[in-house]
Amino acid sequence: MISEQLDKIREEALKQIKGSDGLEKLNEIRVNFLGKKGELTSILKSMKDVAPEDRPKVGQLVNETREAIEKVLEETKNKMEAAARDAKLKAEVIDVTLPAKKNKVGHCHPNTIALEEVERIFTGMGYEVVEGPEVEKDYYNFEALNIPADHPAKDEQDTFYINGDLLLRTQTSSTQVHEMEKGKLPIKMIAPGRVFRADEVDATHSPSFHQVEGLVIDKNVTFADLKGTLAEFAKQLFGPETKTKFRPHHFPFTEPSAEMDVSCFKCGGKGCRFCKGEGWIEILGCGMVHPHVLEMSGIDPNEYTGFAFGVGLERIALLKYEIDDMRLLYENDIRFLNQF
């Protein structure tokens, strides 16, 4: 009898639904009983064997069975989904009393901090920050700076040559020449950048380091302007009590030339271990731009004068942070870098 068959199917379906362990299994049961090839459908297909007058009755029974199975399927499915949601919420519970995870934020390298400080000071005085090429022609690195081929300064700066004419710049002074050649006057610029020398690595030397070059060219620029500018720079960098001292020196591209010392910011000039008892610390080289250098770049030295200076960026970083070995700046040891 069809009604008995239907009861059996319903019973079996409900039993399987009760015993199912997940949504996947539930779907399988749905397909097996209600699907196109499912058991209920096969009964509908056998309706042709049922007497026509009984068909509506059988049809109704089939529908009731289908509805009953669907109802239980749906309820079970909802229960399973709710349980899964609860489990997920429990697993993801947030304890708002726990301390937050700290993001590790990096910070600038001591060299970069020093550079930003130097740039801040000079842009504050109206200087422009310009960049020049690291691979340079011999002319820009030496000749245009009054260092001809046979000049001893060329030996002092052991140079990485790429070929006879191209080299890795040994000083940022080459950027001066590029700026002067542009013919736009006055000039008031600093040029920070990497420079290269064939030096062995030790506590104070590296084959690659950084300089900041400065250049001012205008009418009536004097040595007093140079002194005033660099004294102000030293005060802003090392503190308002900082005194400056200029010692005569020689550079091929400036005349007169000087080296500038600053009073030791550790002992105030009395002499300590930091300044090796001197009370003074050498900080940079400077001078009035040599008339020949101006001429070579097409500037009339009778009309214009200027001053230039060059400071080692590492030197500033080492002094400011009291680091005694330059190698520490390049090793990138996180235990060292974390301190700044």
Q: How far is the CB of 177 from Zn ion (least distance, A)?
A: 37
The residue sitting closest to Zn ion, measured at its beta carbon, is 264
Q: How far is the CB of 274 from Zn ion (least distance, A)?
A: 5
Q: What is the 3-state secondary structure (H, E, C) of 1-58?
A: CHHHHHHHHHHHHHHHHHHCCCHHHHHHHHHHHHCCCCHHHHHHHHHHHCCHHHHHHH
Contact segment (CB under 5 A) with Zn ion among 5-13, 226-234, 249-257, 258-266 equals 258-266
Query: Does 272 help bind Zn ion (rule: CB under 5 A)?
Result: yes
Q: How far is the CB of 264 from Zn ion (least distance, A)?
A: 3
Query: Does 282 help bind Zn ion (rule: CB under 5 A)?
Result: no
Q: Which is nearer to Zn ion, 34 or 267 (CB)?
A: 267
The packing angle between helices 23-34 and 2-19, to 10°, is: 170
Contact segment (CB under 5 A) with Zn ion among 43-51, 152-160, 265-273, 332-340 equals 265-273
Q: What is the 3-state secondary structure (H, E, C) of 57-75?
A: HHHHHHHHHHHHHHHHHHH
Tokens of 45: 């297909």
Count of residues near Zn ion by CB under 5 A: 6
Contact segment (CB under 5 A) with Zn ion among 29-37, 61-69, 274-282, 289-297 equals 274-282
Q: Which helix (H) or strand (E) holds 263?
A: strand 254-263
What is the C-alpha separation between 55 and 190, in angstroms, rounded? 100
What is the C-alpha separation between 21 and 76, in angstroms, rounded? 10
- Residue from 249, 266, 320, 327 touching Zn ion (CB under 5 A): that is 266
Q: Which is nearer to Zn ion, 200 or 322 (CB)?
A: 322
- Residue from 73, 216, 264, 308 touching Zn ion (CB under 5 A): that is 264
- Residue from 223, 274, 336, 340 touching Zn ion (CB under 5 A): that is 274
Which residues between 12 and 51 bind Zn ion (CB under 5 A)?
none
Torsion of CA 278, 279, 282, 283, to 10 degrees: 160
The packing angle between helices 313-320 and 110-124, to 10°, is: 110
Tokens of 86: 């609860």
Q: Which is nearer to Zn ion, 227 or 266 (CB)?
A: 266
3-state class (DSSP) for residue 260: strand
Q: How far is the CB of 237 from Zn ion (least distance, A)?
A: 16
Q: Which is nearer to Zn ion, 212 or 234 (CB)?
A: 234
The reply to whether 53 sits in an annotated binding site is: no
Q: How far is the CB of 284 from Zn ion (least distance, A)?
A: 18
Q: How far is the CB of 314 from Zn ion (least distance, A)?
A: 20
Q: Which is nearer to Zn ion, 234 or 264 (CB)?
A: 264
- Residue from 13, 58, 190, 275 touching Zn ion (CB under 5 A): that is 275
Torsion of CA 192, 195, 199, 204, to 10 degrees: 10
E runs forming strands in 164-253: 166-168, 187-196, 208-218, 244-251
Q: Which is nearer to Zn ion, 6 or 234 (CB)?
A: 234
239 closest CA partner among 272, 275, 265, 260? 265
- The number of angstroms, rounded, from the C-alpha of 174 to the middle of its chain's C-alpha atoms is 28
- Residue from 44, 50, 121, 267 touching Zn ion (CB under 5 A): that is 267
Would you list which residues are annotated within the binding site for Mg(2+)? 255
Q: Which residues bind Zn ion (CB under 5 A)?
A: 264, 266-267, 272, 274-275
